[in-house]
Amino acid sequence: MTNRQITVAELPKGALKPEHFTLSEAEMPTPGAGEVLLRVILMSIDAANRSWLQGATYRAAVRQGDAMPTYAICEVVESKSDRLETGDIVASEATWSDYITAPAHKVQKMPKVSPLSHLISLYGIAGKTAYHGLMSIGQPEPGQTVLVSAAAGSVGGFVGQIAKALGCRVVGIAGGPEKCAWVKQTLGFHECIDYRADGLFKAIRAACPEGVDIYFDNVGGEILETALNLMNERGRVVCCGAISQYQSTAPTGPRNLPGAVVVKRLRMEGFIVTDFVAEDAKAVRALQALTDAGHITVTEDIVEGLENAPHALIGLLNGDNKGKRMVRVSADPS
């Protein structure tokens, strides 16, 4: 058995490129006492991965030479702990690798849903981020208008579908006419606006005739600035990400901050999915119920092969994906 691993060859300044990563053969890791050996099945590819290369965030900075961290669904292939058995499916902090070891108490045993990819999309970071952010921070009410950037992305797509199921008017923002059509037709958003076209302000205003009550922000930058100008009083801005800024060497701040927040008494609040871990079980039940009732279409964008992880992340940052992007490292157990 061999193990492969992708490390960070050089920390990026500006746009992320393939040469920032190196694929190499690595030692097959050996689990110590209390640890498990894990076969990586699926790795979640997220815009946040890019931010980890910018310095310390909610986690320690990734440094040159480090294996690229990720969140993964894995199978236990060897256990030196009472907590887990060979064949168990777990979610774990991992690295871009074929195999990893982890302390058994730090991994989470998962139900064997089929396909396992739903543990990364609907029941994973994407679905839970969408649910917790929208419900706990956005606090939608029927009849309100919810604006969602990166609407064709994994989180944005779930946000819009959940909000629509709750009786909100749902308007997406995505890049290009083809993606916008997909967001409306496949995900059922009421409207979707192409941010690459001219006249973003007017387009949002036309799509949100009663203003914006909740803006779910995945991008920051100019789109955030424009959305702030269209928020209703007492609106909520769910700060989920700032993908427009991660690749920038000279980030720009919304010029209407904090002015718009003061004048319209907005609430802007950031979060990460693990802040709401105590409510995960509730979120999973709700996501399952909404999916069973036909309100949520799960869309996944699975890139095959560990070696393609750099391209998968670079493409995500360029907006290539529709639905939750992940990398398949090995097959689901049969």
Chain residues binding its own copies by CB under 8 A are 51, 57-58, 217, 220, 224-225, 233, 237, 239-242, 245, 251-272, 275
Residue bearing tokens 């060979």: 86
Closest distance between its own copies and the C-beta of residue 85, in Å?
36
Residues in the chain: 334
Sequence-ordered list of residues with C-beta below 8 angstroms from that of 194, at least 6 positions apart, any chain:
174, 175, 176, 177, 179, 180, 203
**CB nearer to its own copies: pick between 19 and 233:** 233
Closest distance between its own copies and the C-beta of residue 223, in Å?
11
User: 251: which 2 tokens?
Assistant: 């980030």
The angle, 0 to 180 degrees and rounded to 10, between the axes of the packed helices 221-229 and 200-207 is: 50
Sequence-ordered list of residues with C-beta below 8 angstroms from that of 253, at least 6 positions apart, any chain:
none
The DSSP code for 134 is I
**CB nearer to its own copies: pick between 180 and 224:** 224
The DSSP code for 67 is B
Question: Would residue 298 be called left, alpha or beta, if left means φ above 0 and alpha means ψ between -120 and 50 degrees?
Answer: beta
Closest distance between its own copies and the C-beta of residue 250, in Å?
8
Give CA–CA dist 110/113, Å, rounded: 8
Give CA–CA dist 131/125, Å, rounded: 10
**CB nearer to its own copies: pick between 77 and 257:** 257
Question: Would residue 258 be called left, alpha or beta, if left means φ above 0 and alpha means ψ between -120 and 50 degrees?
Answer: alpha
Adjacent-strand bridge partners of 38? 76, 100
Closest distance between its own copies and the C-beta of residue 80, in Å?
34
Pick the closest to residue 312 from 64, 101, 68, 107 (CA basis): 68
Closest distance between its own copies and the C-beta of residue 29, in Å?
30
Closest distance between its own copies and the C-beta of residue 82, in Å?
34
The DSSP code for 18 is G
Neighbours of 105 (CB within 10 A): 11
**CB nearer to its own copies: pick between 132 and 325:** 132
Closest distance between its own copies and the C-beta of residue 55, in Å?
9
**CB nearer to its own copies: pick between 256 and 288:** 256
Cβ-count burial of 121 within 10 angstroms (0-12 exposed, 13-18 middle, 19+ buried)?
buried
Closest distance between its own copies and the C-beta of residue 67, in Å?
22
**CB nearer to its own copies: pick between 57 and 86:** 57
**CB nearer to its own copies: pick between 26 and 268:** 268
Give CA–CA dist 19/23, Å, rounded: 10
**CB nearer to its own copies: pick between 222 and 332:** 222
Closest distance between its own copies and the C-beta of residue 267, in Å?
4
**CB nearer to its own copies: pick between 237 and 283:** 237
Strand 231-239 and strand 267-270: pairing?
A: parallel
